[in-house]
Chain A
Amino acid sequence: MGKKRRGPTLDELLARPWCYYCERDFDDLKILTLHQKAKHFKCERCHRKLNTAGGLSVHMSQVHKEQLTEIENALPNRSGLDVEIFGMEGVPEDVLQAHNQRVATQYHQSEAERQAVTGNPPSGSGGSGPAHKKPKLEDLSDIKARLAAHRAKRAEGATGGSSREMTPVGTGQSASTPTNSNRRSSKHQLRNHTLSLMGPPPIPAASPYSLASPVYPALSPAAVSPYAPPSAGTPAAYVAAPPGAGPYPPPGYPSHVYPAQPTTLPSGSPSGSYPLPTVPTLDPNNQARPGSLPALSGLPQRPSFAAPALNMQQMQQMHMGHPAPSSTSPEHANGDATQAPSHVASSVDELISSAAKEAAASEKPTKKEKSKNIRMVYSDENISPEEKMAKLPRYAFSRQAFQQETALGEVPGSIVVGTIRDQDTVVDPAH
């Protein structure tokens, strides 16, 4: 895939055809002419579309006996009939110039704004493509890791004590109502959790991986059913974990990922190289390592769940320069590696979409109401617009003040004072 395009260049913008009447621009001339026919040269009476303003004018006068005075939907100063426009033809030179100038200034302005916001160099000054890509990737895993860490923390807080290790699943199932979303989220949580476990310490893992890589094929069958019931398999596996596991022991790291090992290990797998038994006991304080135990318990399903997540990381590791046996790595690429991210992605998508749906559901009724709703330009039920206007200061009229004035002799010649009533004169303090 090439570099992402960052919007059109100025030249492209200037080359775009635009409508004289409404200053809208279009992808090509054909669409512009269609727009003009539909918006500006359409007969109000019979909805017939004409090609030009002149044509419409003739049509109006001949068919409807009316005089066309202005172009519909046009900008105020462009509604005249004096210019004959068809597509881009007929646009006066000065208007054209003004438009180009406007487009150019707009372009430069938005460009400057974007630069200010993103800190990117101006377009066309060297590719920053790779630099973009990597941070993005890291970002994603970072976020996931943080999410998992946060969840783990919360779960930890919820259960407390030494049993923390099995919390992700345990709490999720016990504490929460068995609603769909809950279950999904707990699953998701678990997956994320394992992912995060894999995530942070890629460096120590590097060395074992080179050894381990041949083992991977073993996982692929399991990966076919990545959604093996977590409730059945995983909790048990977790329970098996001793309260404290080793603190990121580099050799132990991969171990929990390979629980399937015992059963389906391919011939080439250096099972002996796995320091599995030693790992779990290394550090009694590490709670973040529940996974390390499953290997011991040898539950087949568990890896299927965790493995894909791991494999993604692993793949990365492998691609980072560890020469993997040619026979195995393709398998990874086709099997676990590709599936794993898609699972994660799909579950994330699911979450997002469900959240979006919820949001939409809560928004929808209001929207519907809105569309039913009407906005009244004037909605006062009791006071007429005229009365409101009459209250404006500039229309204010005080009869008393006028009486005073007239009493002072400034009677306009035309005013007949004969009908002034008693009450008026009584109220007047000047008398």
Chain B
Amino acid sequence: MSSNQFTLASPPTDAISALKFSPDPNSTRLVVSSWDKNVYLYDLRDENGAVGEGKLLQKFEHRAPVLDVCFGENENEIYTAGLDWDVRKIDLNTSEQTVLSSHEAGVRSVVYSREHNLVISGSWDSTLHVHRPDAGANTQSVPATIPLPSKPFSLSLTATKLVVAMASRALHIYDLKGLALLTAQADGDTVEGNRVELEPWQRRESSLKFMTRCVACMPDDAGYASSSIEGRVAVEWFDPSPESQARKYAFKCHRQTAEDGVDVVYPVNALAFHPVFGTFASGGGDGVVALWDGISKRRIRQYQKYPSSVAALGFSGNGKYLAIAISPGFEDGKEDISDGVVRIMVKELGETEAKAKGAK
């Protein structure tokens, strides 16, 4: 079985901000949000159910660039967040868009917890909004607003926890159960009940010295990986016991030595855990995607360099596909993002391609 790669037809026309597969193991749908103000829905399967080129099913236009997207309860429901300050729910069948809430600044990320049926969005206004989408019938339902010490840059969740990576290297870990309870209470409390001071389950400082770029949780709910703009990835565990904390580590990646001997360090823009094997992929500004085994601290493989920066990564629900979104990234010394290739590649992974090899 060979590792095949194909490029999705009709990619976005501008830089890509996020890419998510449906977590449903049988689904081959993926959504992509872009700075061209659209959210794209693709399916890897064609009409006959065969995985081939992949095709664009739908496109949803927004008022402003879309910064994040995620699947909801099933593969027919997505949530989007963008520069127009809104968090939306889009029903893919009816194309109906519902604004769940509005922040006071651009909304950087949105995640959905299936276990607790919560939509959580993080905005540059330094707040989290926690929505209960099932309360949709109740128009009076107002999301709970949780103030944060800094701007959240990346959200990731497991079955029980929410990790919020913020500016100033701050990192909060919330217990989803608590969040769900609180939102339910706040929802019942109609009088100005939407602003909730919630103490995080854990408050941490990033183990990386530079700005956190991305955070991704392990599928087994044991810990998370975070990446920084300075070509480094850290792997940490939730368990606060000293033994577990001693296991945390960080490593350098996504660097290139220029001709003059200077190490060019790229931001690690994307992290994604394999849903089955628990290994993870990292994508950097250098256009390289690498697969890592976080347990044995080994690199499994590194793919050939892509023509532009890796903006987002995603494993399909069954772990058989790895989608790689590349687009020109914002770099120092450039007023504008440079023109470059915007493309979505899908790698059909071999059976053991992303599997940990085991410590030697």
Contacts and interface: CB of A to CB of B under 8 A. Distances in A.
A72 interface: yes
B204 interface: no
Interface in B40-61: 60-61
A379 to B, nearest CB: 6
B63 A420 contact: no
B58 to A, nearest CB: 13
B204 to A, nearest CB: 18
Interface in B91-107: 95-102, 106
B330 interface: yes
Contacts of A415: 63, 97, 99
A72 B304 contact: yes
B342 to A, nearest CB: 14
A44 B302 contact: yes
Given A65-B2, A66-B3, A375-B258, A385 B329 contact: yes
Contacts of B138: none
A359 to B, nearest CB: 18
A376 B210 CA distance: 11
B198 interface: no
Decide if the interface of chain B is mainly helix, strand, loop or mixed. loop
Interface stretch (B21-29, B178-186, B263-271, B272-280): B263-271
Interface string A381-393: 1101111111010
Contacts of B330: 378, 385-386, 388-389
Interface string B97-131: 11111100010100000000000000010000000
B337 interface: yes
B337 A67 contact: no
Nearest to B90: A414
Contacts, number: 139
Contact of B2 (A66, A380, A386, A387): A66
B336 A392 contact: yes
Contacts of A389: 15, 35, 65, 330, 337
A25 interface: no
A402 B82 CA distance: 14
Given A370-B262, A397-B64, A69 B304 contact: yes
A379 B332 contact: yes
A256 to B, nearest CB: 54
Interface of A: 44-45, 61, 65-67, 69-70, 72, 76, 370-371, 373-382, 384-390, 392, 395, 397, 399, 402, 412, 414-416, 418-421, 424
Given A66-B350, A418-B139, 11 more contacts: A377-B265, A384-B108, A384-B167, A387-B151, A389-B35, A412-B61, A415-B63, A416-B99, A419-B99, A419-B100, A419-B102
Interface of B: 1-5, 15, 17, 35, 60-61, 63-65, 67, 83-86, 95-102, 106, 108, 124, 139, 151, 153, 167-168, 210-211, 213, 229-231, 255, 258, 260-267, 285-286, 301-302, 304, 307, 329-332, 336-337, 350, 353
4 smallest CB-CB distances across A and B, nearest first, come from A397-B64, A385-B330, A414-B97, A374-B263
16 contacts: A72-B304, A370-B262, A377-B264, A377-B331, A378-B330, A379-B332, A385-B267, A387-B106, A389-B65, A395-B35, A399-B84, A412-B61, A414-B60, A416-B99, A418-B99, A419-B102
